Structure 1
Amino acid sequence: MNRFWEALSGICSRTIQHPESQVNRLCITPDKKFLAAAGRHHVRLYDIKSSNPNVIMNFEGHTNNITGVAFHCEGKWMVTSSEDCTVRVWDTRSGQIQRSYTHDHPVNDVVIHPNQGELVSADRGGVIMIWDLGDNKCTHQLIPEDDVSISSVSIASDGSLLAAGNNKGDVYMWRMFQSQETTTLSPCRVFNAHKTYLTRLLLSPDIKLLATCSADHTVRIWRIDMNEENLELVPELPKQAGSEPIAQYPGGPASPADSTDSVDDGPSFQARQGRSRSSSNLTSSSHPSRPSTSASNAPLDTFKPVNAVIANRHPLPLETILESHQRWVWDCAFSADSAYLVTVCSDHYARLWEVASATIIRQYNGHHRGAVCVALNDYSSQT
């Protein structure tokens, strides 16, 4: 079930039933008109401002739980990740699949680069893939630690940082540099944020904070200083004498089913300068339980930093800890000004926090099961 909350009053203004499956992720379209609810096998689109409970559009094609969903900045296409080991790009006008990329393991998360021309996805095998939509191929493979599931990825609003968190509670960060030809990544930080599972990780819109959610019942807020010299602490793993080059094939040539060309009138996948997207409608969902490659035969830039940097762990400065959760914290969302954070937890509550004071501004109760995902739209008084 999806619930819509008024931020200031804490009143639940609307509910939408989602009886066929649990809801794993929520995402609001950039024009603030529709809510995408990702469940098992499908994504359903609902009209936010209408009282009509019916589905506006249904995206079907995945064969297992959908774990991530995000929209192009103008809403022309949508990307999803799934436990069926695929990442798919959908035309939001026709509901048809435009691209399909394959991992070797179930995919836990996917995000869109602000340039709108690249995707970043992460899987349970510990692999992060960067996909170039224009060239329709994977260009980078990042492996922070072999066989340690990457649970979440986040990209800075200006495309300058990539952050990832894994099931050991570790956070990895890369600087991202982009030219007209290529994206270059430089490892810059690795540290242990939590002693157990990290469930979600999110860079704030102003790129000054990093929020990490965990099974340890806390959300930790870390401070980022992009001008800080010691943000650049982690060297890339040097090639060893006599070893194979670090670029390698992650999975060999793709089969035709792994990559689908766009239709003639489909979306254009060209990199462009991304636009900042604020949020304002808060929607949370609950469900009874939560589950604990490549499209080109071109060589990839593959980075395995963990062996080189394990002795150089240096955490970001800890800004604050949000500690009133009673169970696992599954998801979070920053306000557009980065001053507030909404969290959802297995204790059935969604909470609105003032980050600076680490205080709860409002607590939303009414879920009959654990709340596991949230979307925030803060341009209006409704959340």
Structure 2
Amino acid sequence: MKKIIAAEEMAFTSPQRPVPIAMLPSLSDSVYQVAWAPDGATLATGSRNGRTAFWDTTSWNERLALSQPTGIMFCLAFSPDSQKIATASHDKLSRVWSAASGNPQFESPGPGRHVEFSPDGAQLTTTRTKKAYLWNLASGQLIFEMAGHTSTVDFAIFSPDGQQIATTSGKIGFLWSVATGEQVASLQDCRGSIHDVAYSPSGEWIAAACHDSVLRIWDTRNGVLKHELHHEDHAFSLSFSPDGSRIASSSFDKTVRIWDTITGDCVLILEHPDKMGSVAISPKGDIVIANELAYPNNSAWVWELSSGRLLAVLPHAHTTSDVIFSPDGRLAAIGCHDDFTYIWDMFQFDGSLNGYP
């Protein structure tokens, strides 16, 4: 049975608003993208003006900025070994850079919206208008292209084992074999544009948040629809728990909902005064965080995943965009349109949660 946590109840029990441990300036433009290196030592921020900066996560000093503006930043992604970063931007190029020196190492033409390294770091997906591409990074050669979309491709993501790629555009999604380049399944039944998509940690399922107010989950082996999980307005973002047993979804219906991925049951409804944007479950699986979309409401809300208990309301000076956790789950980074990235320490909200040091 689902438990509904009302906004009024959360406001009544909410702790005092905390203070960020760091605010990272973007040099006079909104922060659109944030990415944490897998080794946790570097945070990258990408701004509307195309500037990408690298921050030392011990001192929070900027240690490097990429050598040239690259247009509006749509996507940032680190390689699994933290040695490279890929960017997709409005200047009609997708690039791979050295995370140590900032030197460019690879370029793919096309106005890309998404880039992603394979789990072994040997391959890269890029997008260009109605197609997605798979590249060999050692040789710089194209392995194959993924065609069949009828509008701009928004996502081209790898399965956790690197054996499959999912691409989406508008209401359409396809699954591709990395070994053969063949389309192996399509994601059917979407009646609204796909706004977010993710594989489950096991790779058995793939989920999409759709503008027809539904969170859908399919079997990745055959594209068979497993669940349709309903909000009351646009589903905006989603995040799986590390063990894959739960999935969080945010919506314009002013809720974050927690679902059992096996049964499809809604186990928690976290009500909120305004539309909700990006949502993320921590790598430890104990915390869920989501940001507000409607200016001037600029807060991010932090809950305990198991109970729905509100842990903190994080204030920001303007609308927030991307929300991510550090690899160890201790910190959260939130990009903001006030030209800063805010860094928050999860331990200050409730140090009893799941063994934080």
Q: 1:203 to 1:364 in 2, by over 3 A?
A: farther
Rounded Cα–Cα distance in structure 1 between residues aligned with 2:190 and 2:305: 17
Rounded Cα–Cα distance in structure 2 between residues aligned with 1:86 and 1:99: 10
Rounded Cα–Cα distance in structure 1 between residues aligned with 2:330 and 2:133: 38
Letter paired with 2:323: V
2:144 is paired with a residue whose SS is: strand
Rounded Cα–Cα distance in structure 1 between residues aligned with 2:172 and 2:301: 24
Work out whether residues 41 and 60 of structure 1, in 8 Å CA contact, stay in contact via their aligned partners in 2: no
1:37 is paired with a residue whose SS is: strand
1:327 is aligned, of 258, 275, 281, to: 275
Work out whether residues 206 and 337 of structure 1, in 8 Å CA contact, stay in contact via their aligned partners in 2: no
Name the counterpart of 2:326.
377
Rounded Cα–Cα distance in structure 2 between residues aligned with 1:151 and 1:207: 20
Name the counterpart of 2:70.
63
Rounded Cα–Cα distance in structure 2 between residues aligned with 1:335 and 1:77: 24
Which structure 2 residues correspond to residues 220-239 of structure 1 after superposition, within 5 A? 220=215, 222-225=216-219, 230-231=222-223
Name the counterpart of 2:115.
110
Work out whether residues 150 and 165 of structure 1, in 8 Å CA contact, stay in contact via their aligned partners in 2: yes
Name the counterpart of 1:336.
283
Deviation at 1:185, TM superposition (A): 3.4
Work out whether residues 205 and 336 of structure 1, in 8 Å CA contact, stay in contact via their aligned partners in 2: no
Name the counterpart of 1:13.
21
1:189 is aligned, of 186, 189, 192, to: 186
Deviation at 1:81, TM superposition (A): 0.8
Which structure exhibits the higher relative contact order, with contacts defined as CA atoms closer than 8 Å and separated by 6 or more residues? Answer: 1
Rounded Cα–Cα distance in structure 2 between residues aligned with 1:42 and 1:344: 23
Rounded Cα–Cα distance in structure 2 between residues aligned with 1:332 and 1:139: 33
2:31 equivalent to 1:26: no
| Coordinate RMSD, CA, aligned | 3.5
List runs of 5+ in structure 1 lacking aligned partners.
1-7, 234-277, 279-315
2:43 equivalent to 1:35: yes
Residue by residue, what CA displacement relative to the aligned partner does 1:94-152 show, whole Å, maximum 9, x if unpaired?
2111111102xx211111111211111224x2221212212312222223422x12223
State the percentage of identical aligned residues.
17
2:317 is aligned, of 368, 378, 381, to: 368
Which structure 2 residues correspond to residues 312-323 of structure 1 after superposition, within 5 A? none
Rounded Cα–Cα distance in structure 2 between residues aligned with 1:173 and 1:10: 43
Rounded Cα–Cα distance in structure 2 between residues aligned with 1:151 and 1:362: 33
Work out whether residues 300 and 315 of structure 2, in 8 Å CA contact, stay in contact via their aligned partners in 1: no
Rounded Cα–Cα distance in structure 2 between residues aligned with 1:136 and 1:208: 30
Which structure 2 residues correspond to residues 230-249 of structure 1 after superposition, within 5 A? 230-231=222-223
Work out whether residues 224 and 317 of structure 1, in 8 Å CA contact, stay in contact via their aligned partners in 2: no
Name the counterpart of 2:54.
45
Deviation at 1:193, TM superposition (A): 4.3
Name the counterpart of 1:120.
125
Deviation at 1:338, TM superposition (A): 6.3
Residue by residue, what CA displacement relative to the aligned partner does 1:67-107 show, whole Å, maximum 9, x if unpaired?
1111122222111111111111111222111111102xx21
Work out whether residues 126 and 150 of structure 1, in 8 Å CA contact, stay in contact via their aligned partners in 2: yes
Letter paired with 1:327: K
Rounded Cα–Cα distance in structure 1 between residues aligned with 2:142 and 2:265: 35
2:177 equivalent to 1:176: yes
Q: 1:155 to 1:366 in 2, by over 3 A?
A: same
Name the counterpart of 1:295.
none
Q: 1:335 to 1:47 in 2, by over 3 A?
A: same
Taking structure 2 as the reference length, what is the TM-score of the superposition? Answer: 0.65
List runs of 5+ in structure 2 lacking aligned partners.
1-14, 226-241, 243-261, 333-357
Work out whether residues 205 and 334 of structure 1, in 8 Å CA contact, stay in contact via their aligned partners in 2: no
Structure number having the greater strand percentage: 2
Rounded Cα–Cα distance in structure 1 between residues aligned with 2:306 and 2:167: 24
Q: 1:376 to 1:192 in 2, by over 3 A?
A: farther
Taking structure 1 as the reference length, what is the TM-score of the superposition? Answer: 0.61
Letter paired with 1:379: D
Work out whether residues 282 and 329 of structure 2, in 8 Å CA contact, stay in contact via their aligned partners in 1: no
Count of matched residue pairs:
276
